Structure 1
Amino acid sequence: MDVTTATRATPTIGAKKEDTVFNPKGVLGKDDFLKLLVTELQYQDPTDPMDTEKILNQTSQLATLEAQTNTNKTMKKIADVFQSSSQFAAIGAIGKMADLGNDDVRLDEDGRVSFDIYFPDSVRNGTVEITDSSGRVVKTLPLSSLEKGVHTFTWDGGTAGGERAEAGVYHVSAHYLDGSGEQKKSRVGIYPVESVRFDGSEASLKLGSHYVPLAQIKEIYEG
């Protein structure tokens, strides 16, 4: 008898009704295999005994598989708990500061680039500096009076000399005087967390005018 495919064990003539092994769902677990083994041993033909070693090996393999399945289920539950915890942690970030870990903006070949800068204080005056990878100032944008908060700027790709800057990655920082005349600095990439949006299992935080996946944020801290 092939115990790997059977869903009902037909008892030998003379077997008691309560000895019948019946599985209405057609699924065999390790306990079902043990019942089949006991039944076969009880009613086997003495002149042609069954291969008990084969059934024992199959039962052992099934028990191992069941243990692995239970472990996988447990790990999935743990992963779900951590995922939920991560989402709640993202909600707790609202009102705090998030740092993307860089001040980069990318300029296309023929386009322009818009970027956000957060000013934690009101601005009296100052400048926004756009520098290349070597630290050379490519363009300076003037700052006039601004309120505290996130402000959007647009760079048309022109350089201080009136030429077109090469496409690539540039760095943006701001140097300004606040309302009390104190010198301050800010840069692209640091913003207050305004809200959280969930797309399936992924959380994104609203930083400035964009939503950024939580995985791309390097640091969250009190403002």
Structure 2
Amino acid sequence: MSIASVTATTGVNGAKTSDKAGQGWGNLGAEDFVKLLTTQLNNQDPTDPVDNSQMLAQLAQFSSLSTQNDMKDSLGKISAQGDTLAQISAKLDTLNSTVAKLTSTSATPA
């Protein structure tokens, strides 16, 4: 009897786990966080519920992470724009030196 490879596993209450499992936290987004939060709330022990301060701390951490990711994206765009401006500046310098040479050559009497 052969055993096929496992492509998906079953989690709590028969829910399939995400294909993102094992890829690290970098691939998780807001939708994944909401799924985790609702699963946590659905599966908590009614006699010992999760402390509100813990849930607020998790929400604050997620908000901070989201803000950091937005800043990283913005800084990446700014960096790319800086590279483009540097290339434009180099081309303008070349153009200015070429124009200066042409101007000095044409200004010289023959």
Q: If the length of structure 2 is used for normalisation, what is the TM-score?
A: 0.58
SS in 2 for 1:93: helix
1:30–1:51 distance in 2 versus 1, CA, 3 Å = farther
Structure 1 distance, partners of 2:38, 2:75, is 34
For the Cα contact (< 8 Å) 1:9–1:21, is it kept in 2?
A: yes
Displacement of 1:54 in angstroms is 0.9
| Correspondence for 2:83 | 83
Aligned residue for 1:41, secondary structure, equals: helix
The residue type equivalent to 1:71 in the other structure is M
The aligned counterpart of 2:61 is 61
1:62 aligned partner, one-letter code = F
- Paired with 1:9 and 1:92, the residues of 2 have a C-alpha distance of 61
Match status 1:32 vs 2:26: no
Higher relative contact order (CA 8 A, sep 6+): 1
| Alpha-carbon spacing, 1:52–1:95, altered in 2? closer, same or farther (3 Å) | closer
> Residues 57-102 of structure 1: CA distance to partner in whole angstroms, max 9, x if unpaired?
21222222222222222222122123212212211222535xxxxx
Contact 1:44 1:50 in 2 (8 A): yes
Identity across matched positions, percent: 29
Q: Which entry has the higher C-alpha Rg, 1 or 2? A: 1
Q: Deviations over 1:119-151 (max 9, x none)?
A: x58xxxxxxxxxxxxxxxxxxxxxxxxxx8xxx
- Name the TM-score, length of structure 1 as normaliser: 0.33
Q: What secondary structure is seen at the aligned counterpart in 2 of 1:50?
A: coil
Number of residue pairs the alignment of both structures matches: 89
Distance 1:56 1:9, change over 3 A: farther
Residues 59 and 34 of structure 1, relative CA distance in 2, 3 Å threshold: same
Structure 2: gaps of 5 or more residues: 1-8, 98-103
Contact residue 30 and residue 63 of structure 1 kept, 8 A: no
Task: State how far apart, in whole Å, the 1-side matches of 2:69 and 2:41 are.
Answer: 29
User: Residue 42 of structure 1: CA displacement?
Assistant: 1.5
Matched to 2:87, the amino acid is: Q
Structure 1 vs Structure 2 CA RMSD: 3.1
Instruction: Provide closer, same or farther for how the CA distance between residues 44 and 95 of structure 1 changes in structure 2, counting only shifts above 3 A.
Output: closer
Aligned to 1:42: 42
